[in-house]
Structure 1
């Protein structure tokens, strides 16, 4: 499982621990990834996705996972997020056709 957020692309960064004597040792900065359950109106259920807390805040700010994915370009999303976006678009098209 990659330590990368599928929505924002946040991943591992590297840097140094710096001591008081200015000794530098390598370290890794890990993204704050959390398992989240987001409600999708288009899919009619819950979507389980592992994303960063920053992405979770952005999704909630934009009005949910459906609105966020429909409003962002495909090139900025990971493959898993693109598949989810296609499922949402397909479900919305089906609902439009039925109405």
Structure 2
């Protein structure tokens, strides 16, 4: 399973561990991913996603999953989130 947020696309970054003697060794900075179930009000069903803690705060700030998905760029979303966004647009259009 990829270590990537399904809503923001935030992924693994790389860098260096730097010792006191300034020896550098490669390391990975992993995103803080959590498995959550978010409620979609328009679709009237829960959605299970693996998102970063920062994305979870942003979802709450924007007013829920539906508002977040409609505002988020398609390039950042996972295929699962894009499918949910497509369902959401179809539901709101009808």
State TM-score, norm by structure 1.
Answer: 0.86
Q: Deviations 1:10-43 (Å, cap 9, x if unpaired)?
A: 1011111111111111110000000011111011
Residue 52 of structure 2 is matched in structure 1 by 52
RMSD: 1.3
For the residue of structure 2 that corresponds to 1:37, the secondary structure is: strand
Give aligned pairs, total: 94
CA drift at 1:6: 1.7
Q: Which has the larger radius of gyration?
A: 1
Residue 31 of structure 1 is matched in structure 2 by 31
In 2, Cα distance between equivalents of 1:71 and 1:24: 41
Residue 66 of structure 1 is matched in structure 2 by 66
In 2, Cα distance between equivalents of 1:23 and 1:39: 48
State TM-score, norm by structure 2.
Answer: 0.90
Gaps (5+ residues) in structure 2?
A: none
In 2, Cα distance between equivalents of 1:90 and 1:3: 30
